[in-house]
Amino acid sequence: MSSIELTAPAKVNLVLKVFNKRKDGYHNLLTLFERISLSDLVTVSMAPSGISITCDRAVVKRAKDNIAYKAAELILKTARVGAGVRIDIRKRIPVAAGLGGGSSDAAATLIGINRLFNINMGKAGLMRLGAKLGADVPFFIFDTPFAVGRGIGDRLKKADLRVKLYHLLIYPGFKVATKDVYKALDLGLTMRRGGDKITLPKDWSGFEGIVHNDLEDIIIIKRPVIGKVIQCLVSSLGRKAMVSGSGPSVFCLYRTRREAVRARDKLFSSVPARLRRNWQVFIVETV
C-alpha cells in the first residue's frame, strides 16, 4: 500500500461552556462534541522524502502553515520515519467556520501516516500528538459520534447517546478567527451561566433544551450578521438556532432528514435570495 484515502468529518459543539484562561493561552472548557456527515477527503501517499501538500481550496498562504502539514511533520519526526509523504485535501467543510475542518484534516493525516508506515501508534498516542496541534484534533482521533470534552477539549469521554441527529447547517460565507473571539471573551459573564456538568438527554426530545454556546453573544457582537441569520431561522422555522464553536456556522436540530429538508425548503421560500447569496446550506447528520 503506497497511499491511503480517509474521510475527515466535521463537528458541531452542541454545548460549549468556557471557564478560566490557562497559562498556555487556551481556556478551560466543557463541551459536547458531535461528529457530522459533512466531510473533507484526505489522501496520504508515500514519497521518497519531504512533505508536500495540495488542497483544492485556498486555506493558508504557505503550505507549511497548513495544520495537516504540521501533523505530518510531527508524526514523521516522532516516529523517526526516513521517508516523506504527499498529502492531498479535497475540501467540502468551510474554512474557519466553527466546524473543525482543519483539525479533522490533521487527525486524518496522523491516522493515515500511522497506517501507511506501520508505525503502530495507539489511539492514545495519536491523541497526545493531536493535542499539540490543536484543541479539537483529539476528538477526531477518538472516533466516536458524541464525546464530552474537558480541559481545552482534549480530555475526552465517550457520550453514550444512541441517537442520530439531523441538522440544517448554514455557513454564512465569511470566516471568524477563533483567537479573536476568545480574546473578546468576558469570563465573568460566562462563569455565571452554569456549572461544570452536562446533563445528557435520554432521547432526541431533550437535545434542544441543552444546546448552548457561551461564545455566541460575543460572536454576534463581532459579526452582527450572524445574529440576523439566527433570527431568520427562528422566525422562518420556529426552531432554536445556535452557533457552533467559535462560529460563524449556525445550525438547527431535527428528528429526521425529511424534517430538515422541509425546513431548508421553507427557509429558501421565506428568506430572499439576495439575503442568503453568500450562504452555504447543508443537511447533515450524526456519523
Nearest of 107, 146, 136, 99 to residue 123 by alpha carbon: 107
Q: For residue range 224-266, list pLDDT tens digits in order.
A: 999 988 998 898 888 899 999 999 999 999 999 999 999 999 9
CA distance 214 to 191: 9
Q: For residue range 65-108, list pLDDT tens digits in order.
A: 999 999 999 999 999 999 999 999 999 999 999 999 999 999 99
For the chain, the structural domain boundaries read: 3-158, 166-285
**Cell digits of residue 237:** 422555522
| Sheet strands (E) in the chain | 3-21, 27-47, 51-55, 84-90, 146-150, 155-158, 166-171, 212-213, 242-243, 250-254, 280-285
Q: Is 136 a catalytic residue?
A: yes
CATH class of the domain whose range is 3-158: alpha beta
Secondary structure letter of residue 94 according to DSSP: P
**Cell digits of residue 101:** 475542518
Q: Where are the alpha helices (DSSP H) in 94-152?
A: 101-116, 123-133, 137-142
Q: Which amino acid appears at position 253 of this protein? A: L
CA distance 68 to 75: 11
Q: Which amino acid appears at position 215 of this protein? A: L
Catalytic residue from among 11, 17, 70, 91: 11
Residue 1, pLDDT score: 74
Pick one of 3.90.78.10, 3.30.70.890, 3.40.50.720, 3.40.50.300 as the CATH number of 166-285.
3.30.70.890
Catalytic residue from among 40, 105, 136, 154: 136
